Structure 1
Amino acid sequence: MALEEGRRTVNESYDDNYWEILPIERMQISEEVMLPGQSRNENFERAEEKAIKAVQKHGMNINGKEKNPQIDEAYLLLGKARYFDQRFVPALQAFNYILYKYPASDNINHARIWREKTNIRLDNNELAIKNLKTLMFQEELEGQDLADATSMMAQAYINIKALDSAVWRLETAAKATKSHDERGRYRFIQGQLYNRLNHKDSANLAFDKVIELNRKTPRAYLIAAYVGKAKNFDFDNEDKVALLELLHELEENRENRPFLGKIYHQIGEYHLKNASDSLAVEYYNKSLRTNSSDQILVSKNYEILGDIFFDYTEYRIAGAYYDSTMFNMVENSKPYRVIKRKRDNLDDVILYEDMAFRNDSILRLAAMSETERNAYFSEYTEALKKAAEEEKERQELAERNQGLITAKTSNSFGVKTDSQKGAQANGKSFGNTDSRSSGGVRPVGGPNPGGVPTFYFYNTSTISYGKNQFRKIWGDRELQDNWRWGSLMKSSKGNQALELAKTEEDSELFDPEFYMAQIPSEQVKIDSIKAERNLAYYQLGLIYKEKFKEYDLSKDKFQTLLGMEPDEKLILPSKYNLYKIYDLQGYDNQAANIKNDIITNYPDSRYAAILLNPESALAQDDSNPEHVYNRLYKKLEDQEYQVVVDETNKFITIFEGEKIVPKLELLKANAMGRLYGFEEYSKAIGYIAYTYANTPEGAQAKVITDELFPKLSPKEFVDNPDEQNFKIVYYFNEPSEDEIKDFTEKLQKEIETVNVFDLSLSVDVYNPNTTFVVVHGLTSKEGAMGYASALEERKKNKIIHQHFAASSTNYKIIQVHKNMDEYLSIE
């Protein structure tokens, strides 16, 4: 009885994943390691104790033969208890003991089947298949033994990906089992296997057999079979009306309420395939509002909704849906990474859309007269007051209801009050859809085109209002565990002060002057907001054109930008991009007009030169971006780091918005790292990784941050006795080119006379003021210092200059972290 109770608990605690092939047996395998004497389930522990006690107290082993016919039953109970407690090796020992000691037992076949079940759990699938085949060849199994043997063979075949062999074993198991629950499960798994083998008709026949069982099998299998058939539906050749009627019948059946999430999802799939996108969105949102415990279903709903809005170029809404998709996925799983890449690609467009929307709103308010602003915010604050009054009435009603509940039940059994339920419901709104929005399709995190964003935390007013409402319900609470306990409320004096603060804050929220005072009036600030807004429009035009190939959206952004009187540096590239879009779309007249405008009004620009001579594209002209990059890269190799930093800054401004800019930023970062050290390099790389995340250079910066920085960050000097590569470093402060040239020529002549070591010479920039002349190829620090001393003591051509010796490892640290002074202080 304890074993069966434990087995029932295991079955009930297992959540089937109908998106994958179901396992034959419902049992969640835990990765938790149990210590000796521990058990996962007290029922199995009790069953094991009883089995052991039966063997110890009632065993009658006389002359090597067991006289008590119940002892093999005890060992069988022992093995099963260990099996379900997930101690498979001890379970295998128990089953093997039966086979060894009780070969004439009437339970011998049962024990052999359970041994192979255990082998399968230990991933010995081939051995289990071999032993079960032998058993079925030697014995004529029937009834439940036959069902168990063939079903476990099917599981072993599934494990080794031999799906076709598993199918017909399940056919035998489904016919032989005495349990309708098992029969429904086996038939459904058959359907799944046929689908994997791309035999849709056979899969539908298997699902039909599940449906025929009706109430004899668990409702979960029945609904899953209906959904499986719907997924296999042929929209070209089958009756679509009949399918939709069937799905709505399932929706309206009260018995199917626990499965409405799956049914709504499938109706959404039907409408999506039938090109009824608005209906599909409605039903996917209905599926989400069922708060299904199936995380995969929830994530699929969000992902599909994200894809729908992505296809409609509603990228901000799509981004909100993708965020919710990832929230319901296993982090760092392959599907999670796929969605994350898709979501990351939207970062820039969401950033600039938000920037454009926000700054447009501010500029519209700034352009209003005092009277218009007062009227606008008066209407806004009146709406806030009305909402606050309605919320107050709701809270009072909730408190009255709570008092009634307390009077009847004293609320001592964990009954949730209305206010608690309301708070919980608000918590659940994260990542869900807002049923109050138009058509029930807008995500909470999505925008509200033409108005204030609907996401709660995007609106400072709703945040303040929400804080006040929380304090009204719960008082002043610290952020800590068990925060709802009454003992954690602050003192009454503190609460009085809090109430006063809340009253003052409420009065601000309902005062139009509070909002009007925040509108910028200084021309400098307004100009800054305009410049930021214009840059956002330009970047959006480029993103829509280059990344998403949405030429109409891109064209709209560039045209709107040109109508806003932007900075001169944005006008010409915007016109050139418009020319390219018109040319791609085949609008020849518009393309010709813009081309003539650029050539006439900007004759000296590189864009005009490209339009006049597209073939050459100014390949060697200094104004060509690629030529500029190649020239600066050569200067980086020549250690002209300050020149690279200065010129990249200049050309980043000139080429703003073009593909070459991230490459120039990366070039500048390298030059700054060589010149100023690790701190400046890490800042520059971090800026590239964030600002240009969706470019190859941004991805390269991310790799540098994740993989290279941990190797470069240590700045402690290393004393390694095995190091065999040392250098002499001569350092010069603000030297002239002639000084460095004369010193290196003199030193080069000396090192050429050394035959013992393979010495070489280099000139390395340390920082803007200091240059190193380095002798490489020495094998010890003492040898390096000795060689430098020998050069100083020569009778002729003495080489005397400030210097130090360092290993290659420490020289690298000096150059990376620019900490020569620290190194010299410890020498």
Structure 2
Amino acid sequence: MLITSCSRKKDKFINRNFHALGTKYNVLYNGNIALEKGRETVDNAATDNYWQLLPIERMQVTEEIILPGQSKNQDFERAEEKAIKAVQKHGMNIKGKEYNPQIDESYLLLGQARYFDQRFVPALEAFNYILYKYPASDKINTAKVWREKANIRLDNNKLAIKNLKRLLEQEELEDQDLADATSILAQGYINVKSKDSALTQLAIAADFTKKNKEKARFNYIIGQLYNEFGIKDSANLAFDKVIDMHRKIPRPYYINAHLAKSNNFDIENGNQIEFLEYLTDLEEDRENRPYLDKIFYRIAEFHRTNERDSMAIAYYNKSLRTNLGDKELKSRDYATLGDMSFDIAEYKVAGAYYDSTMMNMKLNSKPYRVVQRKRENLEDVIYYEDIAQSNDSILRLVNLSEIDRLTYFTAYTEELKVLAEAEREKAEAEERRNASGSGLKTKENNAQLGSKAGGKSMTNSTNTRGGKESNFYFYNPTTVAYGKSEFAKVWGDRELKDNWRLSDSKGNGFNSIETIDVAANASDEERFDPEFYISKIPTDQKLIDSLAKERNYAYYQLGTIYKEKFKEYTLAKVKLEELLQNNPEDRLILPSKYNLYKIYIELGLSSKASAMKEDIVSTYPDSRYAKILLNPKSEFAKDENSPESLYNNLYKLFGEQQYAEVVQKAEQYISQFQGDPLVPKFEILKASANGRLVGFEAYKKGVNYIALTYPNSEEGKKAKEILETVIPIMAKKEFISNETGNHFNVMYPFANSEKNQIEEFVKKLDSAISKVSYFKLSTSVDFYDANTTFVVVHGLKSVQGSTGFAEILKENKKNKDKINRPFYSISSPNYEIVQRHKNLNQYLESQ
């Protein structure tokens, strides 16, 4: 009977049942176990981003390419092998009809294994095969649902929605099949941005699913969708359903439901005391320790909303310290701390926070670009604040008396000695711990013996509190001194008062950054010697003047940046007033006073504004600023003498090749409008005109000057880019062979004394080339240097052709069309080199 029943080609009762039982209880049983094991692996590997709308199905889709015959997961590979074995070894396909009722389930297993292994096209084939081959199968509806899941993974959303709607209309699905169908239909609606339709389907799925994980997930997504629609009451009801399941579901759903619900708290009308107690309970629950980073963030947001900034900052930092790898949360913490620092004008600190924010964001994403723009806006202020802070501290040391210098650096070296002692004690303590580790077992044995003898030994061995052995920070004077020094490194000497972190809250004004840098490169003997630091203070008057000049310019730039870009008028006022007290260059005085006048107006300081106006009008009566102040309604700033108008006129002169005049006027305007944002534009126009006038080296020098002088302006950044990428290419002076050229020109040189002949000559030349139809010829008048101008014919194909063309024009039989003038034939690349380096003579010698 066994031998007879093994046949797959006989439609007998015993044969059918033998293969059906073998398929169900052996092959498919093991295959389904492997499938569930693989699904659990996929579920554990997936990481949900609760900051965004969750996907309906918890599965992390990767872009990894799998070759035919390969698998991402061994469990799915085993499940697929079992499904194939069931078909090959137990299939009873007799005359096109399958007699083993378990084969449709084998194909379903095959499709599911491929689906979870992220091979969606082969999975779709397996599900379609069931629909085609087994239309009477009891798994037909399950196969239809899984087919649409595969379609949605392949972005065939509209097709999947159409098929699922027809399935729900035509069939009465059982509970789990109905939950699967409606949930995947909801995902389709979400993908096509019909989220209101998704809500209805998700509600059905949440009611009919038998799996608690799915019920929690669906209700959480329902809450997220209601929040997107602004219906907070319905969202909270959905989150409450998740919270009520508590221990029946994974902890992340429970905690995030609490946090999502807390985000909907009405801060104006709600009971804030009860709400804070609610958040505190979440914080103090030991089971919530893995989620403290998110809980701390939510508490920080609550305090920030209530304008308790100190508490908010403390909790944002707690969130960062307890973060277990949630980059989205880190980016939010850092971004918020950056915004808070920005709001209190701590731009350098804000810039550091924004740097950390971008490190935890997806590169080039939209949020990344938003933060990047904020950070770029801080480049200038950070750059100039560094210069001002550094140079100020050096100049203050320069202005100290010998006694004050000695006092200052004696105190500093004493701090260094304390730090060195703290480091030494720390190293010794570490050595003692390491040494005691080897004898730990012996001590434990002794302690046990002492305990048996009366317990006194254990008490004595553990009583190590107090004295030098105390671990409490403030009981150890060495660690306290170390902490003070570390604070001074970061913040300087700050006065004890509210808002001490503000940049203008300073103590004695000394900054130890420079001394720290010097100490880093000193020997041990020098580090603790005050005279060593005193010897490093600059004494050369030229260097001191240079530091003061650089500091003053930084103050001016900070004043204008705070005023124009950030509207921080108080900060701008402080910087510009300090600048005027520091004996600045003449070029900075007038624009600083005018900016201060505008700032006083904004701050409502009318008496100061009037005094500053009188000062400008009386001291600089012929200046542009005085004319604006005397007649503000004339819109003088926008007339023909405004920087913008003068720049536009100068640019027109550049286009007309009046390079000498451009250079001369650009220098005049740069001096006249020093400090104006348009000055770098005048500089780059001047550099370009100098390059056309004198040559490559002059252009290179001008671009280098712009990159060094205006490093944070758009022109300065562009100049730096030109220096790195364009200048090395332009520096090449070697002429190429005429044999390799494809485009050639004919040059007719004109001296300055012949300039009045150029216009007539060009007309005659244009008339001549208009009769040439076999080339696309054109002419141009090109400046070469202060003494020579070229009239050039473009569009010839070879050096012989260009020479021949010029000779034909020279020998023209019609005397009126004859062009009898010296000329040179040159390829277009060589012409560029000649114009760039002004080396025509070298080119002629090389021919």
TM-score bracket for the superposition, by shorter chain length: 0.7 to 0.9
User: Residues of 1 paired with 2:827 and 2:697: CA distance?
Assistant: 22
Which residue is equivalent to 2:183? 151
Q: Secondary structure at the match of 2:81?
A: helix
Contact 1:113–1:149 at 8 Å: present in 2 too? yes
C-alpha distance in 1, partners of 2:518/2:70?
A: 49
Q: How does 1:618-657 map to 2 (within 5 A)?
A: 624-657=642-675
1:741 corresponds, among 745, 756, 764, to 756
Matched residue SS, 1:47: helix
Say whether the 8 Å CA contact 1:345–1:694 is kept in structure 2.
no
Aligned twin of 1:177: 209
Task: Work out the CA distance in 2 between the residues paired with 1:594 and 1:792.
Answer: 71
Q: Deviations over 1:641-678 (max 9, x none)?
A: 23323432343233211133133123224324534667
Partner of 2:347: 315
1:530 aligns with 2:548: yes
Identify the match of residue 392 of structure 1 among 424, 435, 446: 424
User: What is the CA–CA distance in structure 2 between the aligned matches of 1:452 and 1:94, rounded to whole Å?
Assistant: 77
Contact kept, 8 Å, 1:207 with 1:229, in 2: the verdict is yes
**Is 1:510 aligned to residue 528 of structure 2?**
yes
| Residues 1:30 and 1:518: Cα distance change in structure 2 (over 3 Å) | same
Residue 318 of structure 1 deviates from its aligned partner by 1.1
- One-letter code aligned to 1:74: S
Q: How has the CA–CA distance of structure 1 residues 374 and 88 changed in structure 2, closer, same or farther, with 3 Å as cutoff? A: same
Per-residue CA distance 1:105-138 (angstroms, 9 max, x = gap): 3322222221111111111112212222222233
Q: CA deviation at 1:333?
A: 1.0
Does the CA-based 8 Å contact 1:188-1:221 persist in structure 2? yes
CA deviations on 1:320-339 (whole Å, 9 max, x unpaired) are 11111111111111111111
CA deviations 1:435-459 (Å, max 9, x no partner) are: 99999x9999x9996599999xx77
Determine the structure 1 residue equivalent to 2:140: 108
Per the normalisation by structure 2, the TM-score is: 0.80
Identify unmatched segments of 5+ residues in structure 2: 1-32, 442-486
Counterpart AA for 2:94: I
Determine whether 1:789 maps to 2:807.
yes
State the AA in 2 paired with 1:360. Answer: D
The answer to whether structure 1 residue 571 and structure 2 residue 579 are counterparts is no
Cα distance between partner residues in 2 of 1:589 and 1:448: 26
Q: Which position in structure 2 is the counterpart of 1:130?
A: 162
Q: Secondary structure at the match of 2:791?
A: strand
2:679 alignment partner in structure 1:
661
Look up the equivalent residue of 1:104 and give its one-letter code. A
Aligned residues: 758
Q: Which residue does 2:13 correspond to in 1?
A: none
The residue correspondences of 1:396-545 to structure 2 (distance < 5 A) are 396-401=428-433, 461=516, 505-545=523-563
Query: Is residue 37 from structure 1 mapped to residue 69 from structure 2 by the alignment?
Result: yes
1:394-449 Cα offsets, whole Å, 9 max, x none, are: 3344455456778999xxxxxxxxxxxxxxxxxxxxxxx9999999x9999x9996
Q: Does 1:350 align with 2:368?
A: no
Residues in 1 aligned to 2:78 and 2:309: alpha-carbon distance in whole angstroms: 57
Which of 804, 820, 828 aligns to 1:799? It is 820
1:330 counterpart residue number: 362
Inter-partner Cα distance in structure 2 for 1:451 and 1:761: 70
Secondary structure at the counterpart of residue 579 of structure 1: helix
Instruction: Find the aligned partners of 2:808 and 2:394 in 1 and give their Cα distance.
Output: 74
Amino acid at match of 1:576: Y
Change (3 A) 1:219 1:405: farther
1:585 aligns with 2:603: yes
Is 1:259 equivalent to 2:291 in the alignment?
yes
What residue is the counterpart of 2:120 in the other structure?
88
What is the rounded CA distance, in whole Å, between the counterparts of 1:549 and 1:41 in structure 2?
A: 58
Structure 1 residue aligned with 2:473: none
Q: Which amino acid aligns with 2:128?
A: N
1:763 partnered with 2:784: no
2:314 is the alignment partner of 1:282 = yes
Higher alpha-carbon deviation: 179-188 or 55-64: 55-64
**TM-score (structure 1 length as normaliser):** 0.82
Aligned to 2:323: 291
Rate the CA distance shift 1:220–1:681 in 2: closer, same or farther, 3 A.
farther
CA distance in 2, matches of 1:163, 1:111: 26
Residue 788 of structure 1 deviates from its aligned partner by 1.7
Deviation at 1:158, TM superposition (A): 0.9
| Residues 31 and 575 of structure 1, relative CA distance in 2, 3 Å threshold | same
Hey, what does 2:620 align to over in structure 1? 602
Separation in structure 1 between the aligned mates of residue 99 and residue 731 of structure 2, nearest angstrom: 75
Match of 1:674 in 2: 692
Compared CA separation, residues 698 and 176, structure 1 to 2 (3 A)? farther
8 A Cα contact 2:799 2:825, kept in partner: no
Q: Aligned partners of 2:111, 2:488: CA distance in 1, in Å?
A: 53
The answer to whether the Cα contact below 8 Å between 2:182 and 2:205 also exists between their aligned partners in 1 is yes
What is the alpha-carbon root mean square deviation over aligned residues? 3.9
- 1:72 is aligned to 2:104: yes
For residues 33-62 of structure 1, give each alpha carbon's deviation from its aligned partner in whole angstroms, at most 9, with x where no partner exists. Answer: 122222212222222222222322222222
1:379 matches 2:411: yes
Letter matched to residue 390 of structure 1: A
Cα distance in 2 for partners of 1:805, 1:714 equals 17
Q: Contact 2:744–2:825 at 8 Å: present in 1 too?
A: no
- The equivalent residue for 1:472 is none
Shift of 1:759: 6.7
Q: How does 1:798-817 map to 2 (within 5 A)?
A: 799-807=820-828, 811=831, 815=835
Per-residue CA deviations over 1:161-201 (Å, capped at 9, x if unaligned) read 11111112111111111211111111000001111122221
Counterpart CA distance in 1 for 2:130 and 2:240 is 41
1:657-701, CA deviations, whole angstroms, 9 ceiling, x for partnerless residues?
113313312322432453466786577568767866776767887
Contact 1:717/1:810, CA 8 A, preserved across alignment:
yes
- Aligned partners of 1:730 and 1:802 also within 8 Å: yes
Q: Report SS of the residue matched to 1:772.
A: strand
Once the two structures are superposed, what CA deviation does each residue of 1:713-755 show, in whole Å capped at 9, x if it has no partner?
Answer: 99996989997x75311346xx4x2134346645654654565
Partners of 2:589 and 2:616 in 1: CA distance: 10
SS of alignment partner, residue 92 of structure 1: helix
Q: Is the 8 A contact 1:447 1:454 kept in 2?
A: no
Task: Give the structure 2 partner of residue 484 of structure 1.
Answer: none
Q: Distance in 1 between matches of 2:70 and 2:210?
A: 34
Equivalent position amino acid for 2:149 in 1: K
Deviations 1:3-49 (A, max 9, x none): 22221111111111111110111111111212222221222222222
Which deviates more from structure 2 when the two are superposed, residues 100-109 or residues 701-710? 701-710
Structure-2 residue corresponding to 1:223: 255
The answer as to whether partners of 1:751 and 1:759 remain within 8 angstroms in 2 is no
* C-alpha separation in 2, matches of 1:720 and 1:70: 80
How far apart, in 1, do the equivalents of 2:703 and 2:653 lie? 20
Identity of aligned residues (%): 55
The separation in 2 between residues aligned to 1:173 and 1:714, in whole angstroms, is 72
| Counterpart-to-counterpart distance in 2, 1:407 and 1:128 | 70
Q: Distance in 2 between matches of 1:434 and 1:291?
A: 28
User: How far 1:103 moved relative to its partner?
Assistant: 2.7
Q: 5+ unaligned residues in a row in structure 1: which ranges?
A: 410-432, 466-501
Q: Report the Cα offset of residue 258 of structure 1.
A: 0.9
> In structure 2, how many angstroms separate the alpha carbons of the residues matched to 1:521 and 1:362?
11
Q: 1:703 to 1:389 in 2, by over 3 A?
A: closer
